[in-house]
Amino acid sequence: MRRFTARLQPLTFEALLCGAQTVLPPPMHLPAACARAKEEFASQCSTSAPPPTMLTTAAVVTHLLQNNLRDAAAVLASHPCRQQVLQGVREYVARHPGALAVATLTGMSEEVRCVGEDAVAAFLCVAVEQFVCDSSAAAVEGDEAAARDAQRENLRSLVLRHIRLHPACASALLGSLCSVSRGCAGDREDVINVMQLAIRERSINPRDFGSVLDVVWKSGEPRRVAMMWGWMQHTSACWDIRAASVAIMAFSALQQVDEAVACMQKLAEADCDPTISAQVAFIRFIGPQASALLPYAARLVLHWHPSDERLWRGEAQAVGMELVKACGACGEGKAAVEMLERMVATNAGMPAELDAFMLRPGAAAVGELYGASVVTSKPLQDLFIEVPLRLPCLGETPELVGLLLSLGMAADRLSEVYNALERVSLTPANFHSALDCFTKGRVAKTASPAAVLACVREVSVRTGNAAPKEMESWLQLATEL
């Protein structure tokens, strides 16, 4: 009997559709596989028997791929295990982003109104997930950005309309509403109202609290985040990375160090670390407070990123940069220089990581702050001079152009800087901004006015731009005094 059962096990329709992996094939092969499985099912089973859940999922997705929304809704409505089919569709779209357009999914949410409110909510969630995936794939500008914003607003209005018609769906759609909400006051209030509705319906999911807090934080309301965290922390949200991280950022902005530390301790109980944004916010807050807190900040960073590779590669670079700034604010310049030299050594042979560091906001300010050390340190010259010189987008970053002029003057490497800037396209606005950064920097303030004026005139000739007349007049006057 056991041998007979073992022989029958692979003969399921899930195996027929998907093989041993029990995962639906990709969109390109799904229609053919679905057709074969339906024929096999019809030949072996009664016409009154409901098809297996996975076969129905494949049929619904196939109709969606062919834009047959009415047929997809009919198949979904006829199956007794609708929730399982909806979950299968949602998982399939998540595994194959881009297979279905947002317009198709929103159209399906309208088509299944006759099926049930849960089906509408499910397809709205899938549409929002696909929209978020499309938005994160690539940055857009101009007309494309306007079209995407209109699509986001349309999704948001559809979600809100369904919640108002069916309050029981508030919990299911709360996370989706947060995903298509901006940081404006109107969006924030809508999110809070839907959260309160879900609480009244006794169906709130604490996993959505992080999304809610994120919308409130983006609206510039750290006090409101702190107030909401006061009761959210008594739920499982206290161990949620996103929720606790937003709370850490809010408490850092409010300069409430004990409350922020309490959030980190809760995350530590779950063996989790705050998000990079929360780490940056906390180090930024406690770093300049007092020299006594600097060792604590350094220990925290070491706990979050135990190796130089983890600290100085990828998004974590922002945390390391914030610690470097904190060292400078506390008068620990030597420690900051050592950290920067370790960063260069760690990324030796990885120019993309060094480029990413120099393109981060604040990198030029760090280079300006430690300009004196750049003159004597080969690793720092590699970072703050060699890296910007080779950046293809140098003309779009005037603060780095200003830094190059400052460090080129300090390290007697202006000729290299001039040669590089000859090949760079600088708009008049960016050129003026670069000169402004240069003339207000530490090097220009300690150099002779004649040297600064000569540099301004030379770089104007090399780039084909005209320096501001008031700047030249002021430098000329300073030279004559």
Structure confidence at residue 481 as a pLDDT band (50, 70, 90): low
Average pLDDT estimate for 270-291: 88
Q: Residue ranges per domain, the chain? A: 1-137, 377-481
Exposed/middle/buried for residue 479 (C-beta within 10 Å: 0-12, 13-18, 19+): middle
Tell whether the model's pLDDT for residue 232 goes beyond 80.
yes
pTM of the model: 0.86
The residue whose two tokens read 């009761």 is 231
* Interval 174-193: pLDDT, tens: 999 999 999 899 999 999 99
Of 126, 209, 124, 213, nearest in space to 165 by CA = 124
How many whole angstroms separate alpha carbon 26 and alpha carbon 288?
53
Structure confidence at residue 138 as a pLDDT band (50, 70, 90): low
How many whole angstroms separate alpha carbon 427 and alpha carbon 22?
57
For 40, other C-beta atoms within 10 Å of its C-beta total 14
Q: CA 3 → CA 7, 8, 150, distances in Å?
A: 6, 9, 60
CA atoms within 13 A on the CB side of 140: 12
* Interval 383-419: pLDDT, tens: 999 999 999 999 999 999 999 999 999 999 999 999 9
* Interval 439-477: pLDDT, tens: 998 888 888 888 888 999 999 999 888 888 888 888 888
Cβ contact 312:280 at 8 Å: no
Highest mean pLDDT of the ranges 39-48, 55-64, 327-336: 55-64
Structure confidence at residue 14 as a pLDDT band (50, 70, 90): low
- Position 19 scores a pLDDT of 46
Which tokens is 87 given? 């979950």
- Position 9 scores a pLDDT of 44
Q: Provide the sign of the torsion angle of the four alpha carbons 99, 103, 104, 109, taken in this order.
A: positive
Tell whether the model's pLDDT for residue 272 goes beyond 70.
yes
Structure confidence at residue 296 as a pLDDT band (50, 70, 90): confident
Q: CA 52 → CA 123, 255, 477, distances in Å?
A: 21, 57, 87
Average pLDDT estimate for 258-270: 94
* Interval 417-445: pLDDT, tens: 999 999 888 899 999 999 999 999 888 88
Which distant-in-sequence residues (6+ apart) come within 8 Å of 314 by Cβ? 353
- Position 140 scores a pLDDT of 65
Tell whether the model's pLDDT for residue 65 goes beyond 70.
yes
Which has more confidence, 286 or 18? 286
- Position 23 scores a pLDDT of 80
* Interval 30-41: pLDDT, tens: 888 888 888 888
How many whole angstroms separate alpha carbon 224 and alpha carbon 209?
13
How many whole angstroms separate alpha carbon 208 and alpha carbon 102?
22
Q: If you average pLDDT over every residue of the chain, what do you get?
A: 89
Helical spans, DSSP H, in 96-208: 102-111, 117-137, 142-165, 170-179, 185-200
Tell whether the model's pLDDT for residue 20 goes beyond 60.
no
Exposed/middle/buried for residue 364 (C-beta within 10 Å: 0-12, 13-18, 19+): buried
- Give the distance from CA 180 to its chain's centroid: 14
Tell whether the model's pLDDT for residue 223 goes beyond 90.
yes
* Interval 334-390: pLDDT, tens: 999 999 999 999 999 899 999 999 999 999 999 998 888 888 899 999 999 999 999
Average pLDDT estimate for 277-293: 84
- Biggest alpha carbon–alpha carbon distance for the chain: 106
- Position 8 scores a pLDDT of 43
Average pLDDT estimate for 37-58: 80
Structure confidence at residue 216 as a pLDDT band (50, 70, 90): very high
Tell whether the model's pLDDT for residue 141 goes beyond 80.
no
Specify the DSSP class assigned to residue 16. H
Please tell me the least confidently modeled range out of 13-17, 301-305, 433-437. 13-17
- Position 41 scores a pLDDT of 80
Q: What percent of the chain clears pLDDT 90, i.e. is strictly above it?
A: 64
Q: What percent of the chain clears pLDDT 70, i.e. is strictly above it?
A: 93
Question: Residues, the chain, total?
Answer: 481
Exposed/middle/buried for residue 145 (C-beta within 10 Å: 0-12, 13-18, 19+): exposed
